[in-house]
Amino acid sequence: MVDYQMLKESLEMFQLDGDSWKAVADEFKREIDLAEAGGSSSLKILPAFLSPPSGNEKGNYTAIDFGGSNLRVMQVQLLGLGLYRIAKQISRPLQDPQGRYDFTGPHISGSEIFGWIADMVGEVLMGSSTDGLGFTFSFPMQQLSIDSARLLSWTKELKPSGTVGQDPSLMLGDALKSKGIKLKPSAIINDTVAVFLTGSYCDASVCAGSICGTGFNTCILEYKQWEHPMIVNTEAGNYSRLPLNIYDKVLDAESENPGQQIMEKMVSGKYLGELLRIALKDLGERGAWGDYDSSLPIWNQPFALKTEVMDWLQKNDPQAGLLTAGWMAEMGIPVRGENQQLFSILGKAIVQRAIMLISASYCSVLQRTPLRYGPRQLIAVDGALFKHWPGFLSEIEKILKRELPDRSVSLRYTQDGSSVGAAIAAALAG
């Protein structure tokens, strides 16, 4: 029922051999250097106006984490000595599973989104006091100071109107004011910066922060241009010097931002499921998969295959097996071992390529970071791929250890990093 020769050809399109891996790493380094020198590059050097924390910052702060899929608002107690506690939190998806609201749609305006965020801040603050508000805003922005920025573009398929070129911190401040909440952000930061801050609050060897969740990005520590070491956002998801296969090209063309966020479209949670859907559809249409039925909605609706399904397919446990079977039945795909295997093998190849690409980018980052505290180098990471995908973190770490034998490299999964970092930023802002 499956043409294994044709499947093999599709799998090969996702393979990255040693030379290509090295070329990606070398080019990534060149692009950062170019961005640093002010040249034209697909990467950026966006200063966060923050240096690493000491770990002794203290106080009770309100933290907002606005990413591509969820909004979280929490009260964080910074206790000093690298310790913190989440005292209270609310988390809601941008798209309600019951269909009561949807902030991801094309007709959403900036004021609706910021109004929603302000309402949640009000809910969390009810009955509690705060020493300040930190705002993690996980989209490309040029910061003008620690508490102000200019939104450069939206990513992760979001496009609220009337917002590009505006200051997200100001828009939130206005929304809070209109709801009678006497608070405005004292810091606005990217989520990679937040992860960096959380990681380095606990360990001074952190030299980069990275997210692989709905989107992908990495921030690094820069020493050259500033008096103190500066955390800078590279917008690594936009890295574009990459070999694209036919599936990548289809995905890019159908996306909200063709030609942009090329690396993100090859490695992050928003897109991996969609790549699998496109590859399966191609195999089906070329007659390589007997059970393919072109009339099923899943084959006609972009993003209908969520990355979490790929995650179930990898796991060898009965619960994941049930979830996969239930999902296939719901989609109208015959629940047969061969179909599950086809989805699983292709999914694995897609994720393996993501692992290779991310490790190449990290390798460049680590190589250009001076060793300040002996050979130890840590990358603080957060995001659903690191959290849920079996072996994602450890495989990347293994490659880095092999490629950089002269240092002691590790990835530190930083639970809640993108939220807690906003509290640390607010504390640093004073």
Q: Which residues bind ligand BGC (CB under 6 A)?
A: 67, 138-140, 155-156, 190-192, 211, 213, 215-217, 235, 237, 264
- Pull the structure tokens for residue 229: 């070491």
CA 138/CA 39 separation, integer angstroms: 24
Closer to ligand BGC by Cβ: residue 47 or 215: 215
CB of 190 to ligand BGC, least distance (A): 5
Please report how close the Cβ of residue 328 comes to ligand BGC at its closest, in angstroms. 30
C-beta of 135 vs 292, nearer to ligand BGC: 135
List, in order, residues 6 or more apart from 144 with CB less than 8 Å away: 150, 167
Give dist(CA 218, CA 237) in Å, integer.
8
CB-nearer residue toward ligand BGC: 197 or 280: 197
Cα–Cα nearest to 310, from 261, 353, 337, 277:
277
Q: Which of 235, 232, 271 is nearest to 353 (CA)?
A: 271
Nearest to ligand BGC of 260, 359 (CB atom): 260
Alpha-carbon gap, residue 112 to 322, rounded angstroms: 38
- Residue 48 CB, nearest approach to ligand BGC (Å): 12
Amino acid type, 164: V
Q: What are the two backbone dihedrals, phi and then psi, of residue 271, each rounded to the nearest 5 degrees?
A: -115, -20
Minimum Å gap between C-beta 264 and ligand BGC is 5
The encoded tokens of residue 425 equal 């930023």
Distance in Å, CB of 267 to ligand BGC, minimum: 11
CB neighbourhood size of 253 (10 A) = 9
219 bridge partner residues:
209, 233
Cβ within 8 Å of residue 218, ≥6 positions away: 192, 208, 209, 210, 211, 234, 236, 361, 362, 365, 379
**Minimum CB distance to ligand BGC, residue 262 (Å):** 12
Q: How far is the CB of 9 from ligand BGC (least distance, A)?
A: 31
Cα dist from 90 to 74, 274, 339, whole Å:
6, 29, 39
For ligand BGC, the closer of residues 167 and 282 by Cβ is 167
Tokens coding 38: 């002010």
Q: Which is nearer to ligand BGC, 344 or 359 (CB)?
A: 359
- CA 217/CA 420 separation, integer angstroms: 18
Q: Which is nearer to ligand BGC, 211 or 283 (CB)?
A: 211
N-term to C-term CA, the chain: 64
Look up residue 310 and give its DSSP letter. H
CB of 276 to ligand BGC, least distance (A): 20
- Per the CB < 8 A criterion, the answer to whether 284 and 371 are in contact is no
Of 190 and 339, CB closest to ligand BGC: 190
For 238, which DSSP code?
G
Q: Which is nearer to ligand BGC, 24 or 195 (CB)?
A: 195
Cβ nearer to ligand BGC, comparing 235 with 282 = 235
> Closest approach of Cβ 15 to ligand BGC, in Å?
25
Q: Which of 83, 73, 78, 53 is nearest to 185 (CA)?
A: 73
Least distance (Å) from ligand BGC to the CB of residue 67? 5
Q: Are the C-beta atoms of 340 and 322 separated by less than 8 Å?
A: no
CB of 212 to ligand BGC, least distance (A): 8
Q: Determine the residue with CB nearest ligand BGC.
A: 215
Q: Name the 3-class secondary structure at 247.
A: helix
Nearer to ligand BGC, 176 or 385 (CB): 385
Cα distances (Å, whole numbers) of residue 6 to 154, 282, 285, 287, 328: 37, 10, 12, 9, 22
